[in-house]
Amino acid sequence: MNTPLLLLRKNIVLLLIFGSKVLFAESILGVSKNTVCPGENVEFWDDLSTLNQGNESFLYTIDYSDGTKESLREMHCYFKHSFQKAGAYKVHLIAFNGIKTITGETIIQVRNDIIPESFIDVSKNTLNPICPGTEVYFQTDWNQNYCFDYGDGLKGTNGTHEYKNQGVFQPVITVKNVCGNETKINGEPITVGSRNVYSASADAFIEDLPMHSEGFSINTEIHFRSMSAHTYSWDLGDGTTSVDQNPRHFYSKPGIYDIKLTLEDGCFNDTTLQMQLIIIDEKGDQLLMHQTITDELEVYPNPNKGEINVRVNVGESQSARIEVYDPTGKLTKEINLGPLFGETEQKVLLSSPRAGLYTLYLITESKTYHRSIVIDKQ
């Protein structure tokens, strides 16, 4: 054996080993996810932004530890791989540019018991009702196997849905992964259709009215209140109107004022509420505004102490009933008159009524009439 030649070969090998700079940096290996199902794709890439300042070309070699390797020569790399069996795999990446070698690694856990994760977002504000026919937009992780249950008996994968009927609906998304496991995720409930039937005293009222059952003094600021609606249209009874939710108003003349409020709920449904207000002069006297007496309904005497005569003449035969509401808007008397034909008289007795302004309604199949009644102190 030629000893000098052998020594020369050893020196060359040593020069190659120690002349090449080897760097280990786990952070250069990027991964889409570290826990996956068998057969699910995992993405790998390099991050040499701080080490590869000169945009050098590297030979990338990735070992998936399942018997598979891949290589490519680029300035940056991207690999995709699926592991077919459950287990833990140490994935190793080597980047070599002829002078320096950079390595990185990560652990991939492949399991069969993974519960899929996802989300469901709704485009509409679920705290407020939406109108029937409104298109609602759903958002989720579109890369998964999913199905929406819109809550109204319909299902699908469409990210938009139109609710045609009123109600409260619970949207749910079912997500299934390649392991065969699935999970259900609830979205925020969706209320379709605003309330389109409002009631006086509950949805609209005159502030402090129970404390002024005998009337407000003239030139007192009256506060009107309404529940939240889409639009408001007030008729304050003296020719004044307002579109505010809670208007304020002064009355300069005593009398009984018919107040009307029309509420529209944003779904093309509107309801008109009626209230009445007594304004008295500085001496406390009530100067009643004249009420037109029609052939259909007459109420007398007015004022009274709780004994009311009602004369009804509806013409053609139709069912009717009488309802009487106290100053707070509470139903205090109801009488079913049955089918009526021609003129009819009915006595209405109120049990221990308190003084104040009452409202009597005659409700027929075709029309509703109302009259204001003042009950004097007993």
What CATH number has the domain bearing residue 366?
2.60.40.1930
pLDDT in tens, 228-237: 778 899 999 8
Q: Among candidates 135, 234, 116, 221, which has minimal Cα distance to 176? A: 116
Q: Note whether residue 8 is domain-resident.
A: no
Q: Taking a C-beta distance cutoff of 8 angstroms, is the pair 165, 152 a contact? A: yes
pLDDT at 290: 35
Q: Note whether residue 209 is domain-resident.
A: yes
Q: Note whether residue 350 is domain-resident.
A: yes
- For residues 212 and 204, what is the distance between their CA atoms, to the nearest angstrom? 17
- For residues 260 and 244, what is the distance between their CA atoms, to the nearest angstrom? 13
Residues 103 and 153 in one domain: no
| Domain final residue, candidates 82, 110, 138 | 110
More confident residue, 225 or 126: 225
pLDDT at 325: 84
Residues 106 and 28 in one domain: yes
More confident residue, 248 or 134: 248
- For residues 84 and 81, what is the distance between their CA atoms, to the nearest angstrom? 10
| Domain final residue, candidates 110, 135, 155 | 110
Integer angstrom CA distances of residue 322 from 64, 151, 240, 365, 376: 85, 42, 30, 12, 21
Residues 103 and 126 in one domain: no
Residues 66 and 95 in one domain: yes
Q: Taking a C-beta distance cutoff of 8 angstroms, is the pair 35, 41 a contact? A: no
Q: Taking a C-beta distance cutoff of 8 angstroms, is the pair 126, 168 a contact? A: no
Residues 187 and 224 in one domain: no
Residues 268 and 245 in one domain: yes
Residues 322 and 246 in one domain: no
Backbone angles phi, psi at 236, to 5 degrees: -85, 10
| Residue 11 scores a pLDDT above 50 | no
| Domain final residue, candidates 192, 213, 248 | 192
pLDDT at 211: 77
Residues 222 and 163 in one domain: no
pLDDT at 28: 82
Q: Note whether residue 342 is domain-resident.
A: yes
- Residue-averaged pLDDT of the chain: 82
Residues 164 and 213 in one domain: no
| Residue 312 scores a pLDDT above 50 | yes
Domain with 132 in it = 121-192
3-state class of 280 per DSSP? strand
* Confidence (pTM): 0.43
Residues 182 and 132 in one domain: yes
Backbone angles phi, psi at 327, to 5 degrees: -60, -20
Q: Among candidates 141, 143, 142, 138, which has minimal Cα distance to 151? A: 138
Q: Note whether residue 116 is domain-resident.
A: no
Alpha helices in the chain (DSSP H): 3-19
Least reliable range by pLDDT among 46-60, 133-147, 191-205, 239-253: 191-205
Burial class of 1 by CB neighbour count within 10 A (0 to 12, 13 to 18, 19+): exposed
Q: Note whether residue 197 is domain-resident.
A: no
Token look-up 């300035």 returns 75
Q: Among candidates 121, 120, 119, 118, which has minimal Cα distance to 177? A: 118
pLDDT in tens, 48-68: 765 666 677 899 999 999 999
pLDDT in tens, 81-96: 999 999 999 999 999 9
Please state the length of the chain.
378
Instruction: Give the total number of structural domains in the chain.
Output: 4
267's enclosing H/E stretch is: none
Least reliable range by pLDDT among 53-67, 338-352, 356-370: 356-370
Q: How many CB atoms lie within 10 A of CB 349?
A: 10
| Residue 287 scores a pLDDT above 90 | no
- For residues 94 and 341, what is the distance between their CA atoms, to the nearest angstrom? 100
- For residues 357 and 282, what is the distance between their CA atoms, to the nearest angstrom? 19
- For residues 124 and 184, what is the distance between their CA atoms, to the nearest angstrom? 21
Q: Note whether residue 15 is domain-resident.
A: no
CATH code, domain carrying 266: 2.60.40.10
pLDDT in tens, 192-222: 876 566 666 667 888 888 777 778 988 889 9
Residues 133 and 78 in one domain: no
Residues 273 and 219 in one domain: yes
Q: Note whether residue 132 is domain-resident.
A: yes
